[in-house]
Amino acid sequence: MSQRIDYFKVAHDASRKLMEFNATVHKKAVVNELAHLITLRASQLNGCAFCVDMHSKEAKLHGERELRLYHLPVWRESPLFSERERVALEWTEALTQLTPAGISDDLYARALQHLTEEEIADISMLVVAINGWNRLGIAFRAVPGSADKAFGLDKANLS
C-alpha cells in the first residue's frame, strides 16, 4: 500500500476552513447533545476507520456509556436510545446514504415531532461535516489512532 498525501498540508487553506466550519457547527446545543451518536454512526456507515476510532474514544471521554456505543449499529432494535436520539440517528442515516428520492416527508414530519427546525438544520450541518471528514479519511487512508495524542484521545484508554 502506497503512502497517501497529507491533505492538511497540501490543501491547508481548505482544510482550515473545514475545521472552522466544524467548530462553528459544534457550538450548537443540539450538536453537543447528539454529536457522539451522529458522528460515530455516520462514520460507521461510511466505513471510515479513522473516524470510527476517533469518535468512539471521544464519546467515551465525554461520558457516553460503552454499551450504547456497542448498540449503535443496531439502534433500531435497542432500548437504549430515546425517541429524540432515534430520529436524529434516522436523519443521520438518511442524509448520509441519500437515495434518489431524498429525505421522505414521513421522516421530516417525525423529525419535527422531536426536534425544532433549527435543531434539524444544525444536525444536518453536523452530518455534512462528518461526511466530509469521512471522505477525506477514506481517500487518504488516515490511520486509526494516529492523532490520539494530538487530540487527547489516548486518555480514553482504548487500544
Position 1 scores a pLDDT of 62
CATH code for the domain in which residue 89 is found: 1.20.1290.10
Which pLDDT score is estimated for 115?
98
Give the pLDDT of residue 100: 95
Could you tell me which residues come within 8 angstroms of residue 77 by beta carbon, excluding any fewer than 6 positions away? none
Q: Give a yes or no: residue 159 inside a domain.
A: no
For residue 53, what are the domain limits? 13-153
Please check whether residue 2 lies inside any domain of the structure. no
Q: What is the pLDDT along the chain (159 residues), one digit of tens a residue?
A: 678 899 989 999 999 999 999 999 999 999 999 999 999 999 999 999 999 999 999 999 999 999 999 999 999 999 999 999 999 999 999 999 999 999 999 999 999 999 999 999 999 999 999 999 999 999 999 988 888 888 888 888 877
In a domain, 7, yes or no: no
Cell numbers describing residue 34:
447528539
Distance (Å, whole) CA 111 – CA 142: 33
Distance CA 79, CA 77 (A): 7
Q: How far is CA 97 from CA 42, 58, 128, in A?
A: 9, 24, 12
Q: Is residue 53 part of a domain?
A: yes
Predicted pLDDT at 7: 92
Tally of domains in the chain:
1
Considering the domain boundaries, does residue 29 fall inside one? yes
**Per the domain annotation, does 5 fall within a domain?**
no
